[in-house]
């Protein structure tokens, strides 16, 4: 494994490269291990607020399982985006009934009001936190009025690089109050925000919100 420079000396491009190259490298392992995190309850909460054949954007879709797959099997029209090509390739195999596109969540290439719902499970916190307000604003633009968003964030403010499934990985997030404040500021009404312990014993901060534009 090549040496990684101290995080304080890295620019944004380098941090993003660690994430993209890392997930390209571990795509198959991640796909095999993903079942350990569960999240069926959160998916049911989200799906229960959508109308039949709603259009959903799954941001940082990974290998498409369980999020895109669960939603596509409910009959929703799902588009998944991810920066890692190998993740996109696996997602296409795992969920043939959905559409998957290589795209960075900081530069969404969709028209305003394109989706009725948006999910971002364990993905926003891989983007440097100074981009998070811009990301939520982009989500607000592409979700239709009254549309629903479900995102997970870190439980406590942190930024760092650690070994993850055999690669170096970068995480970056503010604490819950700041994350929640940014989401409200963009024009979302909060349905719930909670810390949830997943089945792999990891605590994350989840926000379910409605677009009030």
Q: What is the CA angle 131-121-135, rounded to 5?
A: 20
- Interface characters, 61-90, with ligand SAM (x: CB under 6 A): xx----x-------------xxxx--x---
Between 146 and 166, name the residue whose CB sits nearer to ligand SAM: 166
Any residues with CB less than 8 A from the CB of 159 and at least 6 apart, and which?
7, 128, 129, 171, 172, 173
Strand-strand pairing, 167-173 and 143-154: unpaired
DSSP letter string over 27-80? HHHHHHHGGGG--HHHHHHHHTTS-TT-EEEEET-TT-TTHHHHHHHTT-EEEE
* Interaction between residue 207 and ligand SAM (CB under 6 A): no
Min CB(195)–ligand SAM separation in Å = 17
Question: Should residue 136 be labelled a site residue for ligand SAM when binding is judged by CB under 6 A?
Answer: no
- Distance of closest approach, residue 30 Cβ to ligand SAM, in angstroms: 7
Q: Which of 49, 73, 106, 165 binds ligand SAM (CB under 6 A)?
A: 106
- φ and ψ at 5, to 5 degrees? -70, 155
Q: What is the smallest separation between the CB atom of 115 and ligand SAM, expressed in angstroms?
A: 15
For residue 132, state whether it binds ligand SAM (rule: CB under 6 A): no
Do 176 and 193 contact (CB within 8 A), yes or no? yes
Query: How many residues at the interface with ligand SAM, by CB under 6 A?
Result: 20
Residues of this chain that interact with ligand SAM (CB under 6 A) are 19, 23, 34, 60-62, 67, 81-84, 87, 104-106, 121-123, 126-127
């Amino acid at each position: 494994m090549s040496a990684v420079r101290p995080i304080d000396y890295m620019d944004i491009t380098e941090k993003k490269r660690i994430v993209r190259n890392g997930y390209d490298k571990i795509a198959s392992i991640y796909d095999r291990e993903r079942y350990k995190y569960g999240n069926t309850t959160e998916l049911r909460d989200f799906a229960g607020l959508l109308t039949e054949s709603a259009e959903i954007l799954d941001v940082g879709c990974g290998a498409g399982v369980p999020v895109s797959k669960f939603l596509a099997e409910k009959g929703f029209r799902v588009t998944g985006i991810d920066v890692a090509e190998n993740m996109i390739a696996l997602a296409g195999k795992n969920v043939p009934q959905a559409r998957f596109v290589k795209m960075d969540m900081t530069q969404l290439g969709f028209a305003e009001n394109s989706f009725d719902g948006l999910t971002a499970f364990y993905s926003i916190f891989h983007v440097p936190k100074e981009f998070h307000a811009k990301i939520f604003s982009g989500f607000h633009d592409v979700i239709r009025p009254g549309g629903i968003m479900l995102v997970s964030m870190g439980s406590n403010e942190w930024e760092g690089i650690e070994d993850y499934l055999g690669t170096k990985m970068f995480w970056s997030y503010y604490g819950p109050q700041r994350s929640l404040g940014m989401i409200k500021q963009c024009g979302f009404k909060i349905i719930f925000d909670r810390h949830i312990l997943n089945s792999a014993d990891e605590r994350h901060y989840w926000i379910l919100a409605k677009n009030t534009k």
